[in-house]
């Protein structure tokens, strides 16, 4: 599949703010089965310089500063992406059991952003939550193969939780969404990460996109009109990272466009920053993922 | 002085150490001391006993008093108020020989820490070659991936290293934990030493106690030498005055001559770090951070941090600022790391550890995990990375044998599911040391926090002494100072005689002052508001005093008196000192409320509280006497006893006079002093406009005019100048336009003009800046005015212009992104 992706974010301030500094995390990092071309990021008003760096975890980060006071800012990212289907050796494999996953993850001498070590521990947003761990113990066992564990977890979330865009905000703690059994992709992903880590499975938060218009005769995927989030589980050295989408109960495949992954939302937030001034900020965005063929 | 010379044990009063009940089996600093050092103990005790005249608790009181005088306090997490410092008067006495071994071990450890940080944030050879599991690094909440492959300019990750040390039953010293994040305790060690110096007079010199001053001098030079300018500015970055150890940070900054800054004082421009000052931005070369890595830079780490500096990363990346210590260094503090230290010492340094750490097993490895589970009864279990984990009640270590069956099962299950979150540690037995408790000398278990710093040539120096904590239980300390803990000074005693006299032990070499001259905008702002709140509180007290003076009858009761009283009560309402509902109450109740009802923003109690809040962050700028007076609590107010209320008012009046006297006689005429004064003058000028307008509405009621003169402390001069009772224009002239009356409006404006003229300018064109132009315009107008011109419209106009002047001053000199708060304060006027 080939897609054209565009993502426009506009920020408006009730009064001018000065020294606005932002991190934008929208340029997709390299990912198996996915090839990105003609990525373009434009910012208006244009900053003197946009500095690209790696964002610590597996994510690209662009940082810029606007010294002059602003009341309005628009950030636009566009790219074309080719997606290949997940190979059968991933979709058809059971993977090692959870006990083995945990032990291999701890032994691997790999501290890189793609190594499992950084994703096995609690993180600032996906903190230790006893209730979520206990809940997941109801259907996860030590001897379960990791792919099955991932599927069970994702399907259980899909069944038990209501998708509700009004129920939570970006900063709602995952435990609150868990207790009320509703939320959006971000909440579901965090809940799944906390549950997986509680059982020793390295789990990462993935930021990305879904195709907006479904193929003829199929239902539109949930979460396609904004950035989407799902969960990467580390499924052993052979399978590596496999994407599970608890919002749609699907493996991340040709409809899922990978942007980056981190320990939780905080590591891969599409936009964050600081400014001086007490003005109210309002944000609007539009996302379009259109198939090209 | 009455202290006995050393080694003349025969003179000491009997009994103080003779019956000392230390158990031989657990180890005790005094019991274990070999002869020359034991003699020192006895001599020190004899001298203390002589000083105490038989009652050790008097000495304890003296030590507490000296600590309070130094302004040493601490805060227990969750407490709003600071606590008095619990310094035990009995020092730990350790021989130079015993300490030399500890020193060598600490230097080796600091060297190891440096190499570890350099590897983790550099080539990561240790992980690749299997000496260190990736999970030990990744598990730390402080592992800063963004700092990867970006080392400090001079390659020094660690400048200050500290460690908690335990002395075991056989006298062996061991490291309980490594600390590279924040050197808390280093300031307390200094303060304990100063307080002990005051308490024990010449005793330290007689006992040949090693000095601490050189350590601090070397540390300061080490930080300065790492910077790439000749006269670098090193700032101490504090999380703010609500931090547990703010008092320590403030004291340390003052002692070292470092500006004490908060994140909002700092900004990054073109990859360099600047502190906003009243003279524009000034370069900062090095930062001694007392803030976690994760809070240091909201753009690079935790986006929610309110105490950091946005994009500090840019300055690190370009080598524009030296950090003490380098961000991310705290990854080395995890208990899990301790498990690998002996091996890493061999791998990196090719040496055995000279100072072993407490034996630790990280359960992220299968064999260790099973061993810890099997030996649970002999070990303690604790979170491997300092965070809350499943199955343990808190972040502290728990002895396996203390768990109930249920807790034990829960812990084992959690350990089995997420073994990497846990460490097992051997149970530590602490030696005891003599301490003065309730008038007796008894053994107490202790730990010592030791400090190591880099000198100018990059080598390490160890503080000869440290910060000792005595616990009431046998447990290890989990916080710097917990409720019920005691602290003590640590004396390393030499055989060589001391060359210097005690009085100059810390001060013979004045700290090189490299930044004390700047005034951060934030501090200027606080000084300004300190001055304003102080003056505002004084005005409330003056009104109450005038009410009391004019209404206390000869028989001591209170009676209301027409216009004057109504006018004054109306002023209290307008100032927010009492509620409008209160104004119908008897005068006594009104006065009591205006003084002590903290719920009303204009009451004396509320204003003094706000003054105190602002003052906390200025503590290091004020003389101790000043701070002591500021901190003294206001006497209780009893509305049923007018005489006691009068004496409270008198107490407060004297309080304000004492502060004014100290400011006038003792405070250096620096920019800091000028902002304190500008705040006071502006507040007084505004209050004058209001007071005159409020009271002189009905023309020329002489009693009201008399009360006005009273409020302005101008009765006597009026009486000497005019033979009549108070009349409108003579009064107006005296309290508004007479340039020789220090209580007159024009006098306040003249002072403001003079202060603004003396403050530094940021522009090169030599033109007066907007605040000065506004102040001069007002001054000229008042100079030219006549008494009859000062109508209420005119006064209202002047008051409005004073408000504009206040805004112009804050716009020019203070930090601008705090306008919200500034506006809130303005509305209270």
Evaluate if pTM is beyond 0.90.
Answer: no
Pairwise CA distance, residues A92 & B584, whole Å: 85
3-state secondary structure of B482: coil
Q: Which of A41-55, B424-438, B518-532, B636-650 has the lowest mean pLDDT?
A: B636-650
Instruction: Check residue B696 and give its pLDDT.
Output: 84
Instruction: Check residue B483 and give its pLDDT.
Output: 63
Q: What is the ipTM of this complex?
A: 0.94
What's the Rg (C-alpha) of chain A?
19
Q: Give counts: helices (H), strands (E), chain B.
A: 29, 21
Place of tokens 């630790």: B360
Question: From the CA of B385, how many Å to the nearest CA of chain A?
Answer: 10
Structure tokens at B699: 């023309």
β-pairing, B467-470 vs B440-454, is antiparallel
Looking at the partner chain, which of B134, B146, B303 has a beta carbon nearest the beta carbon of A272? B303
The answer to whether residues A257 and A209 touch, using CB atoms and an 8 Å cutoff, is yes
Mean model confidence pLDDT for chain B: 86
CB-based contact B817 A278, cutoff 8 Å: yes
**Is 90 exceeded by the pLDDT of residue B362?**
yes
Domain ranges of chain B: 92-335+430-504, 359-426, 519-666, 668-829
Chains A and B form CB pairs within 8 A to the count of 94
Q: Quick check: B138 contacting A, CB < 8 Å?
A: yes
Alpha helices (H) in chain A, listed in sequence order: 88-91, 98-107, 130-137, 146-160, 174-180, 185-198, 236-239, 265-268
Q: Which residues of B touch A264 (CB under 8 A)?
A: none
Q: Which residues of A touch B124 (CB under 8 A)?
A: 111
Please tell me which residue, B702 or B737, carries the higher pLDDT value. Answer: B737
Average pLDDT over residues B542-563: 68
Looking at the partner chain, which of A106, A128, A197 has a beta carbon nearest the beta carbon of B364? A106
Average pLDDT over residues B168-182: 93
Please tell me which residue, B755 or B26, carries the higher pLDDT value. Answer: B755
| DSSP state letter for A120 | S
Instruction: Check residue B555 and give its pLDDT.
Output: 44
The answer to whether residues B188 and B487 touch, using CB atoms and an 8 Å cutoff, is yes
- φ/ψ of residue A249, rounded to 5: 55, 50
Q: Which residues of A touch B134 (CB under 8 A)?
A: 108-111, 115, 117
Looking at the partner chain, which of A118, A124, A133 has a beta carbon nearest the beta carbon of B390? A133
Average pLDDT over residues B650-669: 92
Looking at the partner chain, which of A115, A122, A130 has a beta carbon nearest the beta carbon of B387? A122
The answer to whether residues B611 and B537 touch, using CB atoms and an 8 Å cutoff, is yes
CB-based contact B365 A111, cutoff 8 Å: no
Structure tokens at A50: 């946009």
Q: Which of B480-484, B619-623, B823-827 has the lowest mean pLDDT?
A: B823-827
Name which of B363, B418, B522 to mutate to probe chain A: the one with the most chain A Cβ atoms within 10 A of its Cβ. Answer: B418
How distant is the alpha carbon of residue B122 from its chain centre? 36
CB-based contact B420 A120, cutoff 8 Å: yes
Q: Which residues of B touch A106 (CB under 8 A)?
A: 133, 135, 364-365, 420
Tell me, yes or no, whether A169 and A199 share the same domain: yes
Contacts of B121 (CB under 8 A, 6+ apart): B144, B147, B148, B149, B150, B151, B157, B326, B328
Beta bridge partner(s), residue A13: A281
Torsion of CA B691, B695, B697, B699, to 10 degrees: -120
pLDDT in tens, A82-97: 999 999 888 889 999 9
Please tell me which residue, B253 or B65, carries the higher pLDDT value. Answer: B253
Looking at the partner chain, which of B128, B299, B364 has a beta carbon nearest the beta carbon of A21? B299
CATH number of the domain residue A284 falls in: 2.60.40.2250
The most confident of B10-14, B393-397, B446-450, B701-705, by mean pLDDT: B446-450
The answer to whether residues B634 and B605 touch, using CB atoms and an 8 Å cutoff, is yes
Pairwise CA distance, residues A292 & A37, whole Å: 13
How far does chain A reach from its first CA to its final CA, in angstroms? 7
Distances (CA, A) of B714 to B786, B789, B790: 19, 20, 18
3-state secondary structure of B78: coil
pLDDT in tens, B294-353: 999 999 999 888 899 999 999 999 998 999 999 999 999 999 999 999 999 999 999 999
Instruction: Identify the CATH assignment for B359-426 out of 3.90.550, 3.30.1490, 3.30.200, 3.40.1710.
Output: 3.30.1490
**What share of residues in chain B are helix, strand, coil (percent, to 5)?**
50, 15, 40
pLDDT in tens, B761-792: 877 777 899 999 999 999 999 999 999 999 99
How distant is the alpha carbon of residue B725 from its chain centre? 52
Beta bridge partner(s), residue B493: B95, B209
Please tell me which residue, B627 or B83, carries the higher pLDDT value. Answer: B627
CB-based contact B387 A128, cutoff 8 Å: yes
The answer to whether residues A118 and A111 touch, using CB atoms and an 8 Å cutoff, is yes
3-state secondary structure of A238: helix
Band (B2; pLDDT cuts 50, 70, 90): very low
Question: From the CA of A127, how many Å to the nearest CA of chain B?
Answer: 10
3-state secondary structure of A108: coil
The answer to whether residues B507 and B190 touch, using CB atoms and an 8 Å cutoff, is no
Tell me, yes or no, whether A36 and A132 share the same domain: no
pLDDT in tens, B183-213: 999 999 998 998 888 888 888 888 889 999 9
Name which of A106, A135, A268 to mutate to probe chain B: the one with the most chain B Cβ atoms within 10 A of its Cβ. Answer: A106
**Is 90 exceeded by the pLDDT of residue B733?**
yes
Other CB atoms closer than 10 Å to residue B580's CB: what's the count?
9
**Is 60 exceeded by the pLDDT of residue B825?**
no
Tell me, yes or no, whether A66 and A31 share the same domain: yes
Instruction: Check residue B817 and give its pLDDT.
Output: 44
Band (B561; pLDDT cuts 50, 70, 90): low
Other CB atoms closer than 10 Å to residue B517's CB: what's the count?
14
Helix (H), strand (E), coil (C) string for B670-700: CHHHHHHHHHHHHHHHHHHHHHHHHHHHHCC
The answer to whether residues B228 and B285 touch, using CB atoms and an 8 Å cutoff, is yes
Pairwise CA distance, residues B354 & B106, whole Å: 8
**Is 50 exceeded by the pLDDT of residue B829?**
no
| DSSP state letter for A102 | H
Q: Which residues of B touch A277 (CB under 8 A)?
A: 817, 819
Instruction: Check residue B6 and give its pLDDT.
Output: 42
Ranges of chain A whose pLDDT falls below 70 = 223, 278
Closest-approach residue (CA) in chain A for B421: A121
**Is 70 exceeded by the pLDDT of residue B515?**
no
Its domain, for residue A141, covers 88-268
CB-based contact B421 A56, cutoff 8 Å: no
Helix (H), strand (E), coil (C) string for B564-619: HHHHHHHHHHHCCCCCHHHHHCCHHHHHHHHHHCCCCCCCHHHHHHHHHHHHHCCH
CA atoms within a 13 Å half-sphere pointing along the CA-CB vector of B300: 27
Closest-approach residue (CA) in chain A for B313: A63
- φ/ψ of residue B356, rounded to 5: -65, 155
Beta bridge partner(s), residue B323: B287
pLDDT in tens, B600-619: 999 999 999 999 888 887 87
Tell me, yes or no, whether A177 and A36 share the same domain: no
Pairwise CA distance, residues B130 & B796, whole Å: 78
CATH number of the domain residue A248 falls in: 3.10.620.30
Residues in chain A: 293
Beta bridge partner(s), residue A207: A229, A260
CB-based contact B127 A111, cutoff 8 Å: yes
Closest-approach residue (CA) in chain A for B420: A106
| Domain count along chain A | 2
Band (B69; pLDDT cuts 50, 70, 90): confident
Place of tokens 């495949």: A253
Structure tokens at B575: 């100032």
Q: By C-alpha distance, which of B378, B396, B329, B413 is closest to B137?
A: B329
Tell me, yes or no, whether A123 and A21 share the same domain: no
Structure tokens at B68: 């309070």
Average pLDDT over residues B481-486: 71
Pairwise CA distance, residues B158 & B288, whole Å: 11
Structural element, H or E, at residue B199: helix B186-200
**Is 70 exceeded by the pLDDT of residue B7?**
no
Band (B798; pLDDT cuts 50, 70, 90): very high
CB-based contact B137 A117, cutoff 8 Å: yes
């Amino acid at each position: 599949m080939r897609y054209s992706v565009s993502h426009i974010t506009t920020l408006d301030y009730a009064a001018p703010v000065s020294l606005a500094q932002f991190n934008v995390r929208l340029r997709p990092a390299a990912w198996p089965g996915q090839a990105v071309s003609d990525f373009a990021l434009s910012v208006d008003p244009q900053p003197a310089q946009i500095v690209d760096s790696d964002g610590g975890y597996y994510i690209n980060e662009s940082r810029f500063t606007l010294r002059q006071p602003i009341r309005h800012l628009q950030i636009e990212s566009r790219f074309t992406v080719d997606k290949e289907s997940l190979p059968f050796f991933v979709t058809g494999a059971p993977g090692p059991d959870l006990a083995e996953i945990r032990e291999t993850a701890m032994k691997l001498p790999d501290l890189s952003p793609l190594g499992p070590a950084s994703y096995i521990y609690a993180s600032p947003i996906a903190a230790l939550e006893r209730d979520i761990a206990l809940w997941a113990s109801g259907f996860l066992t030590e001897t379960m193969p990791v792919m099955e564990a991932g599927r069970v977890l994702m399907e259980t979330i899909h069944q038990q939780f209501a998708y509700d865009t009004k129920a939570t905000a970006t900063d709602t703690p995952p435990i609150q969404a868990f207790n009320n059994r509703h939320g959006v992709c971000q909440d579901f992903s965090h809940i799944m990460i906390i549950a997986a880590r509680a059982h020793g499975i390295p789990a990462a938060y993935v930021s990305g996109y879904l195709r907006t218009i479904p193929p003829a005769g199929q239902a539109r995927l949930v979460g396609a009109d904004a950035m989407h989030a799902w969960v990467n589980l580390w499924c052993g050295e052979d399978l590596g990272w496999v994407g599970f989408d608890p919002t749609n109960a699907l493996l991340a495949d040709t409809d899922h466009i990978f942007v980056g992954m981190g320990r939780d939302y905080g590591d891969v937030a599409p936009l964050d920053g600081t400014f001086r001034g007490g003005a109210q900020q309002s944000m609007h965005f539009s996302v379009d993922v259109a198939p090209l063929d | 002085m009455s202290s006995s010379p050393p080694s003349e044990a025969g003179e000491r009063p009997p009994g103080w150490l003779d019956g000392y009940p230390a158990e031989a089996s657990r180890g005790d600093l005094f019991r274990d001391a070999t002869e020359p050092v034991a003699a020192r103990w006895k001599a020190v005790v004899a001298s203390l006993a002589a000083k105490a005249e038989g009652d050790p608790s008097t000495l304890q009181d003296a030590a507490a008093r000296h600590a309070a005088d130094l302004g040493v306090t601490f805060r227990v997490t969750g407490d709003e108020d600071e606590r008095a410092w619990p310094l035990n008067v009995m020092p730990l006495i350790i021989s130079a020989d015993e300490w030399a071994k500890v020193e060598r071990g600490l230097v080796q450890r600091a060297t190891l820490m440096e190499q570890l940080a350099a590897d983790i944030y550099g080539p990561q050879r240790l992980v690749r070659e299997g000496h260190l599991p990736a999970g030990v690094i990744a598990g730390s909440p402080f592992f800063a991936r963004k700092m990867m492959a970006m080392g400090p300019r001079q390659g020094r990750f660690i400048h200050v290293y500290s460690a908690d040390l335990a002395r075991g039953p056989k006298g062996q010293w061991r490291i309980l934990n490594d600390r590279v994040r924040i050197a808390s305790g280093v300031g307390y060690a200094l303060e304990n030493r100063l307080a002990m110096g005051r308490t024990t007079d010449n005793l330290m010199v007689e006992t040949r106690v090693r000095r601490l001053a050189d350590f601090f001098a070397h540390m300061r030079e080490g930080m300065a030498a790492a910077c790439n300018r000749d006269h670098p500015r090193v700032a101490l970055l504090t999380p703010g005055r609500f931090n547990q150890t703010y008092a320590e940070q403030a004291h340390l900054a003052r002692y070292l001559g470092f500006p004490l800054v908060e994140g909002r004082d700092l900004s990054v421009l073109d990859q360099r770090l600047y502190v906003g000052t009243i003279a524009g931005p000034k370069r900062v070369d090095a930062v001694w951070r007392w803030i976690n890595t994760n809070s240091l830079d909201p753009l690079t780490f935790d986006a929610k941090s309110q105490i950091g500096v946005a994009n500090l990363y840019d300055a690190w990346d370009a080598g524009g600022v030296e950090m003490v210590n380098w961000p991310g260094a705290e990854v080395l503090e995890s208990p899990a790391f301790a498990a690998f230290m002996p091996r890493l010492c061999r791998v990196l340094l090719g040496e055995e550890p000279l100072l072993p750490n407490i034996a630790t097993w990280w359960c992220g490895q299968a064999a260790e995990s099973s061993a810890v589970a099997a030996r649970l009864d002999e070990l303690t279990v604790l979170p491997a990375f300092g965070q809350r984990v499943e199955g343990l009640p808190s972040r502290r270590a728990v002895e396996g044998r203390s768990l109930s069956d249920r807790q034990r099962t829960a812990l084992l299950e959690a350990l089995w599911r997420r073994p990497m979150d846990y460490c097992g540690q051997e149970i530590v037995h602490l030696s005891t040391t003599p301490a003065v408790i309730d008038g007796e000398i008894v053994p107490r278990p202790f730990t010592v926090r030791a400090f190591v710093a880099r000198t100018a040539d990059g080598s390490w120096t160890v503080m000869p002494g440290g910060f000792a904590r005595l616990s009431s239980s046998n447990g290890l300390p989990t916080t710097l100072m917990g409720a019920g803990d005691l602290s003590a000074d640590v004396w390393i005693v030499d055989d060589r005689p001391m060359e210097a006299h005690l009085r100059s032990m810390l001060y013979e070499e004045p700290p090189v002052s490299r930044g004390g001259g700047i005034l951060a905008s934030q501090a200027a702002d606080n000084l300004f508001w300190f001055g304003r709140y102080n003056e505002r509180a004084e005005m409330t007290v003056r009104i109450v005093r005038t009410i009391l003076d004019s209404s206390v009858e000869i028989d001591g009761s209170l009676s209301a008196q027409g216009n004057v009283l109504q006018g004054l009560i109306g002023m209290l309402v307008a100032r927010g000192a009492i509620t409008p509902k209160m104004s119908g109450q008897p005068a006594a109740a009104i006065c009591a409320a205006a003084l002590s009802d903290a719920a009303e923003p204009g009451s004396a109690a509320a204003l003094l509280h706000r003054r105190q809040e602002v003052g906390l962050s200025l503590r290091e700028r004020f003389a101790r006497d000043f701070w002591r007076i500021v901190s003294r609590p206001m006497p209780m107010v009893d509305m049923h006893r007018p005489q006691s209320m009068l004496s409270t008012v008198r107490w407060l009046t004297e309080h304000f006079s004492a502060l004014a006297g100290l400011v006038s006689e003792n405070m250096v005429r620096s920019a800091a002093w000028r902002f304190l004064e500008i705040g006071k003058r502006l507040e007084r000028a505004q209050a004058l406009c209001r007071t005159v307008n409020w009271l002189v509405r009905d023309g020329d009621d002489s009693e009201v005019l008399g009360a006005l003169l009273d409020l302005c402390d101008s009765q006597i001069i009026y009486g000497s100048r005019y033979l009549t009772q108070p009349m409108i224009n003579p009064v107006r002239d005296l309290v508004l336009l007479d340039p020789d009356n220090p209580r007159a409006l024009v006098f306040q404006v003249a002072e403001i003009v003079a202060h603004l003229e003396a403050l530094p300018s940021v522009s090169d064109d030599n033109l007066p800046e907007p605040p000065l132009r506004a102040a001069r315009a007002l001054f000229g107008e008042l100079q030219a005015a006549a008494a009859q011109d000062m109508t209420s419209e005119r006064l209202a106009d002047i008051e409005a212009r004073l408000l504009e002047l206040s805004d112009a001053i804050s716009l020019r000199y203070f930090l601008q992104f705090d306008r919200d708060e500034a506006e809130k304060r303005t509305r209270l006027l």
